[in-house]
Chains A and B, each alone.
Chain A
Amino acid sequence: MPVPLLDITGLTFEADHRPILDRLDLSIQPGEIHALLGANGSGKTTLAYVLMGCEGYAPSGGRILFDGTDLIPLKMYERARLGLTLAWQEPARFEGVTVREYLSLGKPDADPAEALSHVGLDPARYLHRRVDKALSGGERHRIELASVLSMHPKLAILDEPSAGIDMLSISHIIGIIRAVKAGGGSVLLITHQEEVALIADRASQLCAGRIIFSGSPRDAVDHFRGRACVRCDGEECHYVRP
């Protein structure tokens, strides 16, 4: 078994004395697309924030090794400079910042036009536009994914990358996930969409802050559908074995 790119053991994160992540174990191999499934409130987005080091998301226990480095003492931008990044479910808007500038962040050699083409947006129409509220939700989402691709990350955490994307454009989202992999990167893919989850190499189901199933994407989707939690409110896992 190769050394995992991301190796999480016993990760615990609490909010208001309640465990949101509860001794969570998960590993992702280099070049792997790993889908993370789970009901609303199961802890998927919290895991993304803890991994990225967002403010207020310091874990109370466990270990996160990324490419052999302990991530927990590192600041967010230090984690990014190691090759980890996050695409938010609801991307931020930036007044005055052009798409070209946004896609070149920290990467003077980035190719914004190519990244835009990957997400199905015409560079001639979009490079000069601003990453502000004039963009539709779908356009902003695709630009977010293009910015992730521009980084050439070792691991991209994509939180609901297909949210707000029309059906015809899902293929572009799948294309960009595969492009990260083709560039040697890994993807932690948080999704509710079966079509998107099935492109993963492996998948896990999260429930009340714990991984309760890992396997092939097909098996994980079937597991989630067939034996989904009735309700995960963070106080107790309601997962019921058949």
Chain B
Amino acid sequence: MSDLDDLRRTLPMVGAEPAILDDTRIAHVVAHGHRILSRRTVPGVRVELEETPDALVGTLTVEAGAQIAQPIHMCFGLAHPTGAQHIKIDVKMCEGAQARVLSHCLFPLAQAAEHRMQAVMEIGPGASLTYTEGHYHGPHGGMRVIPHATIKIGQGARYFSDFSLLSGSVGTLDIDYLVEVDADGLAELSAKIFAHKTDYITLKEAVMLRGDRSRSLIKTRVVLEGQAQADIVGITEAYAAGARGHVDCMEIVQGLAHASAIPIVRVFHPEAKVTHEAAIGSVDKKELETLMARGLSPEQAVEMIVSGILR
């Protein structure tokens, strides 16, 4: 079986259908390590990726005014227990463009593997990008994932990101995002992670509200069990009139797991406002008892609460 077949078969682990790669209306890139196995573009989308010995390097461009009806699928991964994948990509949403990118990061057999992503995203004036990133790292916990991104959101532009890693082991995850928002721009960053065993997560998301009336939300939901650890930092700084930001972090800790959550909010303009909420703890007792009073066992009740939080 080829590497492409192996990655295709794993797509359902992140909620995607393998058949999307056969659909001629849908743009996609499939890369195994530093090799591109499959690619397709559609009108309005340009994918220029180059294979190098050390990295995949290139750009994804959505042309000005283009409204891409079908999501663009970017499927990265390794079908072997070991190896490395390094991706340096610039994503450019030209003025008025609209697109949805689904990034599937698949490492089903990882025992000692690494995936490193360095991205620069530019969301042009009035453009909109929804970036959904689903990860599956297999059961072994031998994956190391380091996604770092700088995102610039232009005037009146909108950026929505949703990172999820909900099944299998996490391994080591080190996310570092920096987002700059111009006037009337909007950034919503959401991350949902379920960590087990000795998984270790560091997650740092920083939003700089530079423009008037710029807005942002950082929402993080992390559930930890076993001996997993998480250190979460959500930063929002507001520099302009009418800027509004909110940081919302919730971590559920079970077993011997432990977690920290640090919301940092800074305001540099008298007409700006940033709020935050952070909660770390075990499953809420009242929620648990309410479900048990309807006949759910403690295990069923915890599962329902956790799956709701990670939804």
Cβ-defined partner of A85 (8 Å) among B284, B294, B297: B294
Per-residue CB contact flags for chain A residues 97-108 toward chain B (1 = under 8 Å, else 0) read: 100010001100
Identify B289's interface contact among A55, A93, A95, CB under 8 A: A55
User: Taking A54-B289, A92-B284, A92-B287 as contacts, is the C-beta distance between A105 and B305 under 8 angstroms?
Assistant: no
Asked if A196 is at the interface (CB within 8 A of a chain B CB), the reply is no
> For residue A87, which residue of chain B has the nearest CB?
B293
Within the complex, the shortest CB–CB distance from A23 to chain B, in Å, comes to 26
Given A55-B289, A76-B289, A88-B286, check contact A94 B294 (CB 8 Å): no
Kindly state whether residue A4 has any CB partner on chain B within 8 Å.
no
For window 252-311 of B, CB contacts with A under 8 Å fall at 284-287, 289-298, 301, 304-305, 307-311
Given A77-B298, A106-B295, also A92-B307 (CB < 8 A): no
Q: Which residues does chain B contribute within 8 Å of A55, judged by CB atoms?
A: 285, 289
Q: Quick one: which of B31-47 are within 8 Å of A by CB?
A: none
Instruction: Decide: B292 and A96 in contact? CB cutoff 8 A.
Output: no
Contacts A88-B286, A92-B286, A94-B305; is A80 near B310 (CB within 8 Å)? no
| B293, B301, B308 — most chain A CB neighbours (10 Å) | B293
* Contacting residues of chain A (49-80) with chain B, CB-CB under 8 angstroms: 52, 54-55, 75-77, 80
A97 to B285, CA, bound (A): 16
The verdict on A91 contacting chain B, using a C-beta distance below 8 Å, is: yes
Which A residues are in CB contact (< 8 Å) with B250? 95
A92: chain B residues at CB < 8 Å are: 284, 286-287, 289-290
Nearest-Cβ distance from residue B11 to partner chain A, whole angstroms: 24
Q: Does A227 contact B (CB under 8 A)?
A: no
A127 to chain B, nearest CB (A): 16
List B contacts of A97 (CB < 8 A). Answer: 304-305, 308
Complex contact A80–B294 (CB within 8 A) = yes
**A106 B296 Cβ-Cβ under 8 A:** yes
Give Cα distance in the complex from A168 to B235, angstroms.
Answer: 46
Question: Using Cβ atoms and an 8 Å threshold, which residues of chain B touch A75?
Answer: 292
User: Given that A96-B307, A96-B308, A96-B309 are contacting pairs, would A77 and B287 also be in contact in the complex, using a CB cutoff of 8 Å?
Assistant: no
Q: How far is the CA of A77 from the CA of B301 in the complex (A)?
A: 10
**Which chain A positions have C-beta within 8 A of B311?**
95-96
Most buried by A among B285, B286, B295: B295
Query: Least Cβ distance of A124 to chain B in Å?
Result: 22
Do B294 and A151 touch (CB < 8 A)?
Answer: yes
Query: Nearest chain-B residue to A83 (Cβ)?
Result: B295
| Docked CA distance A105–B305 (Å) | 12
Residue of B nearest to A150 (CB): B294
Q: Would you call B310 and A88 a contact (CB within 8 A)?
A: no
- Chain A nearest CB from B88 CB (Å) reads 35
Query: Can you list 29 residue pairs at the A/B interface with Cβ under 8 Å?
Result: A52-B293, A55-B285, A55-B289, A77-B296, A77-B298, A80-B293, A80-B295, A81-B295, A85-B293, A85-B294, A88-B286, A91-B290, A92-B284, A92-B286, A92-B289, A92-B290, A94-B287, A94-B305, A94-B308, A95-B250, A95-B311, A96-B307, A96-B309, A97-B304, A105-B295, A105-B296, A130-B308, A147-B294, A151-B295
A-binding residues in B (CB < 8 A): 250, 284-287, 289-298, 301, 304-305, 307-311
A residues bordering B, Cβ < 8 Å? 52, 54-55, 75-77, 80-81, 85-86, 88, 91-97, 101, 105-106, 130, 147, 151
Other than A75-B292, A96-B309, A147-B294, give 20 A-B pairs with Cβ distance below 8 A: A52-B289, A54-B289, A77-B292, A77-B293, A77-B295, A80-B294, A92-B284, A92-B287, A92-B290, A93-B287, A94-B287, A94-B308, A95-B250, A96-B307, A97-B305, A101-B304, A105-B294, A105-B296, A130-B308, A151-B295
